[in-house]
């Protein structure tokens, strides 16, 4: 669409205003020379992206300016990073080269932009573009952490402007954001950005829940504001009398945080007590800030009674991403629990700006922090990555983005471990040889096995023996990348020896059936036995777990092996009866999966969320199999983050030939007629086929579980409306798993 001269003139004014906003944001920490360099980068970006537009129709230059402003204002990075943010797309999208960048802005800037460009360049043939993308992100963290900080800023702006993208792209980008970028932002200490990324991701993956919580927050805003004012008034007064220079304010928790609490505690919005948090920020010197935080805690708990189980001391032992604060929950007016976060101005800046602030305050202090340890761990994991990128991604999430526990060695050294870590993980964390020969441990002076899961505060003494060796089962007992890598290394050494023996046995078998021992024939046998590779085949033969007598049935002509499909069915596979049944049923379901020709093709329904006609669904093509999930299914969000390039457009058509098993949970006041009312509505009024109905009563209340066959969401909504109208019924909820 052609722009009028007035529109073009207005766009030029908008570009200049946005650029001035960027300069204002970076003024506190960018000198005159830095502003000249930023101006030069802006002009280059403006000329390079001239005529280019985003999906929304706005000039493309709006995007790099916005990313640069996030980098300056919300991440707190300096001149080089702002320049790279302005130019982050020019090498990929224009004729500007890395050599041009280096000659104009230096080698550091060129290296950062090279890292940003590499993240986005992934081979389309990769099994999971997202997993491979993530591997590249971690490589850039190990090289220069500014690359990922700029990439997070880029992703944040893309999420803020996602409404102009088609729905399947929204799902792909949102899922990837929740699964990959939000955890990285969290780990790098960017709490505000992490919360916003999660909220924006939730807006597209759980739109109804997001809007419901948002509306309820708006409805309760006035009452919440009045409560916060009355709550903090005595705190502020008491701290001022004590001569402390503090800032006290309240802010609501993020929508995604509230939703997570609702799910974790299985409660409604109204029952989440800590919907907001009170922050006390102390303006004090670094050498006395810990004592001042505890002094504030003392004053606050004189006013309000604390919950002793809800004290979190992250000033004595900071989180591994550098976060420091005292968190306590106190009983406020009207019997409401309120969370209070106490921290110094320095701690607050680290909490808001993360890694950039952490390193700024670390200047002159040579002590390593948990964040430095984490970056060392990133480099350690990358040095020995898993061959399979998806497995690599899962291991990384277990090691780098899991919750943490703090444990001690027998000598009292503190170790930070993932929350699911075992004794065996701890052994490998101390030393590889200790892990390889681990028998168990004394935890708090009691002997436990190698798979014992560690808990906060445990003191561990590893027990070892020279005759102990790793086994395949050990892999089920560990979660850390270091432990898995060490165990696999030893197992693979052993596996290769057994595989060599298996290869010799197979060669002898080929002689007996007069087949040539070559690559094509071996590949046919690999397929015949449903193995992943020839090494796996040789290994199983070496272990004598395969019946080679089945090879006598093969058709061998002129040394070539032909595998008859009927014969291959005799060999046991991993396909379960349940999957076979589902694949038979799916042929009758009326769902359109759009490919290049919009033809109806085969698909299967995911058992994790049991989608029914009318639900918002997404089809994900994994290794040639289409799985249909509800768009808000947690498993689907994880899969879309890994296989975002394999999301297939999907929609339902009207069809009532097939019914889907659906469960409802009903609660209410116990009544002798309740069973009659329920069965009458289901079987007589709505004529719905019911598989089972169970009701349990206790102290005047009952809980019932109904399993019915539903054709679509229209029929389901009809049923729930009718059931809720029954006298004494309190709730009717959909069961996620039937």
**How many whole angstroms separate alpha carbon 110 and alpha carbon 72?**
19
Strand partners, 704: 666, 695
Q: What is the C-alpha to C-alpha distance for residues 434 and 307, in angstroms, rounded to an integer?
A: 41
Residue 668's φ and ψ, nearest 5 degrees, are -175, 180
CA distance 551 to 525: 8
599 an active-site residue?
no
Is the CB of residue 155 less than 8 Å from the CB of residue 70?
no
Among the residues of 206-354, which ranges form H helices?
Answer: 207-219, 221-241, 255-265, 289-303, 345-353
- Single out the catalytic residue among 31, 93, 564, 736: 93
Residues whose CB falls within 8 Å of the CB of residue 203, separated by 6 or more in sequence, listed in order: 174, 210
Give yes or no for a contact between 239 and 232, defined as CB atoms under 8 angstroms apart.
no
Cα–Cα distance for residue pair 106/128, rounded to 1 Å: 34
Give the 3-state secondary structure of residue 385: coil
Residues in the chain: 738
Which residues make beta-bridge pairs with 733?
A: 665
Closest of 353, 354, 325 to residue 341, by C-alpha: 325
The residues, any chain, with a CB within 8 Å of residue 567's CB and separated by 6 or more, are: 550, 553, 554
Active-site residue, 413 included: no
What residues contact residue 37 under an 8 Å CB cut-off, 6+ apart? 79, 83, 105
Q: Which two tokens stand for residue 266?
A: 């299985």
Q: What is the largest CA-CA distance in the chain?
A: 99
d(C-alpha 70, C-alpha 470), whole Å: 48
Residue indicated by tokens 């899991």? 402
- Helix (H) or strand (E) segment spanning residue 332: strand 326-332
How many degrees, rounded to 5, is the angle at CA 352 between CA 350 and CA 356?
Answer: 50
User: Are the CB atoms for 180 and 135 separated by under 8 Å?
Assistant: no
Task: Point out which residues pair with 138 in neighbouring strands.
Answer: none
- DSSP structure string for 144-181: -THHHHHHHHHHHHHHHTGGGS-HHHHHHHHHHIIIII
* Residue 203 φ then ψ, to 5°: -60, -30
Give the whole-angstrom CA distance, residue 695 versus residue 198.
38
CB 460 within 8 A of CB 443: yes
Check: CB of residue 701 under 8 Å from CB of residue 669.
yes
The active-site residue out of 9, 31, 50, 92 is 92
* Beta-strand pair 438-443/446-448: antiparallel
Contact between 602 and 583 under an 8 Å Cβ cutoff? The reply is yes
Contact 320/371 with Cβ under 8 angstroms? yes
Give me the residues paired with residue 280 across strands: 248, 342
| Residue numbers annotated as active site | 92-93
């Amino acid at each position: 669409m052609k722009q009028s001269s007035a529109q073009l003139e207005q766009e030029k004014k908008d570009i200049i205003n946005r650029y001035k906003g960027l300069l204002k944001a970076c003024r506190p920490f960018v000198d005159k020379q830095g502003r000249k360099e930023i101006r030069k980068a802006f002009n280059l970006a403006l000329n390079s992206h001239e005529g280019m537009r985003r999906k929304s129709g706005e000039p493309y230059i709006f995007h790099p300016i916005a990313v640069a402003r996030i980098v300056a204002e919300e991440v707190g990075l300096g001149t080089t990073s702002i320049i790279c943010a302005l130019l982050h797309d020019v090498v990929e999208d224009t004729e500007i080269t890395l050599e041009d960048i280096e000659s104009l802005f230096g080698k550091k800037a060129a290296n950062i932009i090279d890292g940003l460009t590499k993240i986005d360049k992934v081979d389309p043939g990769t099994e999971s573009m997202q997993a491979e993308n993530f591997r590249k992100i971690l490589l850039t963290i190990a090289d220069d952490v500014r690359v990922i900080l700029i990439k997070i800023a880029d992703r944040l702006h893309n999420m803020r402007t996602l409404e102009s993208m088609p729905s399947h792209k929204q799902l792909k980008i949102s899922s990837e954001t929740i699964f990959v970028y939000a955890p990285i932002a969290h780990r790098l200490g960017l709490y505000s950005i992490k919360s916003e990324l999660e909220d924006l991701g939730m807006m597209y993956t759980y739109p109804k829940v997001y809007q419901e919580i948002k509306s309820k927050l708006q409805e309760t805003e006035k009452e919440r504001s009045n409560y916060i004012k009355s709550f903090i008034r005595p705190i502020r007064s008491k701290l001022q009398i004590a001569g402390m220079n503090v800032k006290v304010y309240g802010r609501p928790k993020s929508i995604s945080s509230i939703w997570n609490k609702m799910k974790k505690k299985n409660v409604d919005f109204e029952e989440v007590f800590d919907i907001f948090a009170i922050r006390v920020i102390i303006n004090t010197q670094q050498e006395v800030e810990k004592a001042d935080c505890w002094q504030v805690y003392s004053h606050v708990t004189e006013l309000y009674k604390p919950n002793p189980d809800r004290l979190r001391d992250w000033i004595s032992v900071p989180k591994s991403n550098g976060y420091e604060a005292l968190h306590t929950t106190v009983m406020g007016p009207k019997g409401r629990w309120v969370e209070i976060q106490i921290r110094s101005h320095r701690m607050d800046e680290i909490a808001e700006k993360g890694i950039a602030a952490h390193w700024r305050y670390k200047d002159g202090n040579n002590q390593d922090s948990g964040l430095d340890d984490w970056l060392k761990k990133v480099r350690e994991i990358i040095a020995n990555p898993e061959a399979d990128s998806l497995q690599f991604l899962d291991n990384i999430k277990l090691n780098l983005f899991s919750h943490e526990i703090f444990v001690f060695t027998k000598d009292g050294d503190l170790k930070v471990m993932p929350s699911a870590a075992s004794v065996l993980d701890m052994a490998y964390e101390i030393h590889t040889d200790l892990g390889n020969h681990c028998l168990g441990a004394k935890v708090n002076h009691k002997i436990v096995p190698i798979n014992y899961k560690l808990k906060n505060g445990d003191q561990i003494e590893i027990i070892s023996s020279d005759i102990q060796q790793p086994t395949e089962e050990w892999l089920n007992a560990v979660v850390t990348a270091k432990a898995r890598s060490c165990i696999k290394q030893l197992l693979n050494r052993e596996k290769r020896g057994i595989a060599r023996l298996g290869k010799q046995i197979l060669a002898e078998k080929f002689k007996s059936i007069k087949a040539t021992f070559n690559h094509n024939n071996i590949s046919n046998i690999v397929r015949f036995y449903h193995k992943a590779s020839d090494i796996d085949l040789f290994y199983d033969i070496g272990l004598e777990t395969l019946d080679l007598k089945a090879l006598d049935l093969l058709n061998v002509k002129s040394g070539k092996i032909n595998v008859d499909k009927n014969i291959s069915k005799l060999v046991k596979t991993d396909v379960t009866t349940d999957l076979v049944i589902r694949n038979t049923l799916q042929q009758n379901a009326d769902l359109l999966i759009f490919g290049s020709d919009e033809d109806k093709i085969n698909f299967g329904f995911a058992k994790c969320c049991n989608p029914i006609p009318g639900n918002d669904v997404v089809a994900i093509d994994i290794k040639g199999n289409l799985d249909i999930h509800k768009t808000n299914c947690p498993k689907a969000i994880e899969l879309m983050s890994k296989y975002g390039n394999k999301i297939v457009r999907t929609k339902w058509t009207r069809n009532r030939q097939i019914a889907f098993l659906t469960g409802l949970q009903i609660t209410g006041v116990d009544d002798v007629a309740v069973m009659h009312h329920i069965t009458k509505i289901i079987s007589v009024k709505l004529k719905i086929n019911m598989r089972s109905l169970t009701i349990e009563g206790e102290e005047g209340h009952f809980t019932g579980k109904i399993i019915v066959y539903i054709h679509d969401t229209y029929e389901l909504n009809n049923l729930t409306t009718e059931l809720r109208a029954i006298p004494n019924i309190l709730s009717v909820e959909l069961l996620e798993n039937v």
